[in-house]
Amino acid sequence: MGRELEQIIQREIAAAGGVLPFVRFMELALYHPRHGYYMTDRPKVGKEGDFYTSPTVHPVFAETVADAIIAMLAGSRWERPALVEAGAGTGSLLASVLEQIKRAAPTLYTALQVIVIETSPYHRSLQQQALASFSGEKRWYASIEEAAEHERVDGVLLSNEWFDAFPVHLLEKSGNGWQEVGVAWDAQAACFVKRYLPQLTPAAAAYLREKEIDLAAGARMEANPAVRQVMLAIARLLREGYVITIDYGDTDEGMYHPSRHNGTLLCYRRHQVHDNPLLDPGEQDITAHVNYSDLMRWGEQAGMETVAFMSQERFLLGSGILAKLVEHTDRDPFTSDAMRRNRAILQLIDPGGMGGIFRVLIQRKGNPAAQSLPFLKESQKKDARV
């Protein structure tokens, strides 16, 4: 499988004149229809996969997210509210969210329609299995743009670690200005190697002009101008409601801080982390931190208001996760469900771990009649990590 994708990329490099933009290499490595990392039939998340996510820590994460969604939909005038998840992975997060809505707000659960945005046929099959017990309307689309062509909905769009898997342009600052990283094939060494493109791609050049970024020579950064079209599509899909984005990332201030001189691109394979995306395309995950300043700016241009931006810790605390701690007298941490649940809560809100690394952006379109959003009180507290 890896060898076949390697040959496909080699042919694209040859057709491109010897150097392929990194953004295209990353797209092929992750999303080639047959051999891309996310398109293949194998686990990516959890113990048997390559990385962990917040939903895999414990269902209490999904329960708390569901409580926030219930608050957003409470008192709405919509007859058929929609819950949309983009990049739903195995479907476990969405299934657990729906279970909590069923328990806590059965009338809302009965009225819900579910829409899933999923590129991978493998993940789509897992999602269909995970959502088999939900008897309401369920629809799948391969992209947010496709969904926006066919749907206009009121409700909530949720994504968890979706934007970080978008292919990015890699840019490096030299003494003569910005250069864009490309990928070539070294036949003698039989491996992919870094080469600079003769000039910036139009998308990267436009991004740099818009941002007016001033970094020191030798600095590297990632650019994801394709997200602008995604935000426009979300705004088309969502007639009225909220967008919840949970991912690791930062605003411009943090993304371009000297401590991130080398950028944020990382690779994950069998729970090992490294920074060489050219190794074994299709066999490893490649990610980059999300630039939340872009999401907020482009969202506002598309007609979506920024409601809150906070750490995962603040979001979960404000959404009532501490109320989900369980009193117990158990002593064996290996067999106690209560101890496992309580440990998971502490892990999810740990400011030095998941609670601080992951950020939550809440955007709103229109004037949804939510009664109150409890996490907003937490978002207004001073938080040095956001």
Q: Is residue 13 part of a domain?
A: no
Of the given ranges (45-59, 252-266, 299-313), which has the lowest mean pLDDT?
A: 45-59
pLDDT band at 175 (very low <50, low <70, confident <90, very high): confident
Provide the 8-state DSSP code for 182.
E
CA distance 35 to 54: 27
Instruction: Identify the pLDDT of residue 367.
Output: 84
Q: What's the CA gap between 74 and 313, in Å, rounded?
A: 23
At 43-57, the pLDDT tens digits run 666 666 656 677 777
What CATH number did the domain enclosing 62 receive? 3.40.50.12710
Q: Is residue 206 part of a domain?
A: no
Q: For residue 254, is it within any domain?
A: yes
Q: Which residue has the higher pLDDT, 237 or 342?
A: 237
Number of domains the chain contains: 1
Instruction: Name the least confident of 160-164, 254-258, 301-305, 323-327.
Output: 323-327
List pLDDT tens digits, range 96-146: 999 999 999 999 999 999 999 999 999 999 999 999 999 999 999 999 999
Spatial distance between the Cα atoms of 350 and 356, rounded to a whole number of angstroms:
7
The pTM score is: 0.93
User: Which domain does 138 fall in, by range?
Assistant: 39-167+224-379
Specify the residue for token string 């009338």: 107
Parallel, antiparallel, or unpaired for β 153-160 and 82-86? parallel
According to DSSP, the residues that pair with 85 across neighbouring strands are 116, 158
Q: Is 87 domain-assigned?
A: yes
Does residue 244 belong to any structural domain of this protein?
yes
**CA atoms 20, 287, 378, 307: torsion sign:** positive
Does 34 reside within a domain?
no
What span, in angstroms and rounded, lies between the C-alpha atoms of 215 and 231?
27
Residues 349, 132: Cα–Cα separation, whole Å: 31
Instruction: For residue 163, tell me if it sits in a domain.
Output: yes
Per-residue pLDDT band at 192 (split at 50, 70, 90): very high
Q: Is the pLDDT of residue 59 over 50?
A: yes
192 located within any domain: no
